[in-house]
Amino acid sequence: MLTILWLVLGLVALTVAGLVWFTWNTKRKVEAAVPPRGQFIEISTGRLHYVDKGQGPAIVMVHGLGAQLGNFDYALVDALAETHRCIAIDRPGMGWSERPEGAAANPRAQAGYVAEVIDKLGLDRPLIVGHSLGGAIGVCLALDHPEKIRGLALLAPLTRGGDAPSPAFASLGIRSPLMRKIAAWTLATPMGMRSTDLVFDLVFGPDRVPADYGTKGGGLLGLRPGSFVATSRDYVASMTDIKWMRAGYAEMPVPMAVLFGEDDRILSAETQGRKLVAEHPAITLELIAGGHMLPLTRPEACTDFIRRNDPGV
């Protein structure tokens, strides 16, 4: 019996060691395939990675859950850089930006990090373009720091809660920091690779995933254990400030416009869009055909929407 127990323990140890090695090797390959392509500045969370292109009125672009600046740098940055100075950031903890374990992950705290970026780069009241969770962060920034920005142009944003959690995020609701790290270094990477088609169908559908999304769009970076940890923390904290946000819409201090895909499978255009503007008619809403990943799948429509809803132009 003791021999069997030791054999079982040995097999478990070998399995865990194999998963850790696989995760580390995948991380190494991903980082070689998708290196940093921008610049770095220091803010309170450590080094922050960003791209900065063009001249003119400034735009700061804030990506959503589990993503990085490649969501914008894929197509939107170059298009908007013809008329604007476009800064797309890796939010702290995501892409190539740092975030220590003790740094808060709720949208209001993350809005404070974006405010630091605005100050560090000396930007004069940029327009904030936020996608998905980045939209909630943009709203918090407008409510807490209205003097720092001139408006919000939000793409498929989280605005008011009320949607059922998407199955695409089923693995993220881990509240224990220890269990989160264990999952990140054992099961998260291989399971993430195995469930790619299912997750992409929900996140991108009904639109097609760009063939080069993994590299040019930066999607491969999501397979790293650090990305899983930060994404899980963001997901768990994502609804923390929703009630406070909803109370602030009535006196939104800057112009706010929202663009949604009618067929969004992650956030409901009805709940996050139509109900929002029904309660607060000063907020404008535009609906187009498409799913959740509009910056990648509908870049022309997003570019036009952003330009038309920039109060500084």
pLDDT band at 227 (very low <50, low <70, confident <90, very high): very high
Please check whether residue 97 is in contact with residue 49, taking contact to mean a CB–CB distance below 8 angstroms. Answer: yes
Mean pLDDT of 265-272: 97
Element (H, E) at 73: helix 70-73
Predicted pLDDT at 18: 87
pLDDT band at 6 (very low <50, low <70, confident <90, very high): low
The structural domains of the chain, with segments of one domain joined by +, span: 36-159+240-308
Question: How many distinct helices (H) and strands (E) make up the chain?
Answer: 14, 8
Amino acid at 49: H
Parallel, antiparallel or unpaired: strands 127-131 and 58-62 = parallel
Predicted pLDDT at 7: 67
* Residues 158, 251: Cα–Cα separation, whole Å: 18
pLDDT at 3 over 90: no
- Torsion-angle region of 56 (φ positive above 0: left; ψ -120 to 50: alpha; else: beta): left
Mean pLDDT of 275-287: 97
pLDDT at 288 over 80: yes
Which phi and psi (to 5°) does residue 266 adopt?
A: -105, -50
DSSP one-letter string for 146-204? GGG-SEEEEES---S--SPPPGGGTT-----HHHHHHHHHTTHHHHHHHTHHHHHHHHH
Predicted pLDDT at 8: 63
Predicted pLDDT at 1: 66
pLDDT at 215 over 90: yes
Mean pLDDT of 297-311: 97
Write the pLDDT tens digit of every residue in 106-165: 999 999 999 999 999 999 999 999 999 999 999 999 999 999 999 999 999 999 988 888
Predicted pLDDT at 245: 97
pLDDT at 9 over 70: no
Q: How far is CA 41 from the centre of its chain?
A: 19
Write the class of the CATH domain 36-159+240-308. alpha beta
Which phi and psi (to 5°) does residue 53 adopt?
A: -135, 150
Residues 6+ apart with CB under 8 A from 14: none
Mean pLDDT of 281-287: 97
Write the pLDDT tens digit of every residue in 150-180: 999 999 999 998 888 899 998 999 999 999 9
Please check whether residue 74 is in contact with residue 67, taking contact to mean a CB–CB distance below 8 angstroms. Answer: no
pLDDT at 53 over 90: yes
Predicted pLDDT at 223: 96
Share of the chain above pLDDT 90, in %: 90
0.85 exceeded by the pTM? Answer: yes
71-75 CB contacts, 8 Å cutoff, 24+ apart: 71/131, 71/217, 71/218, 71/293, 71/295, 71/296, 72/129, 72/131, 72/295, 73/37, 73/38, 73/218, 74/210, 74/213, 74/216, 74/217, 74/218, 74/295, 74/296, 74/299, 75/295, 75/296, 75/299
Please check whether residue 60 is in contact with residue 128, taking contact to mean a CB–CB distance below 8 angstroms. Answer: yes
CA angle 162, 167, 169 (to 5 degrees): 85
Residue indicated by tokens 């997901």: 235
Instruction: Write out the two tokens for 166.
Output: 């998407």
Residue indicated by tokens 């939104």: 252
Q: Mean of the per-residue pLDDT values for the chain?
A: 95
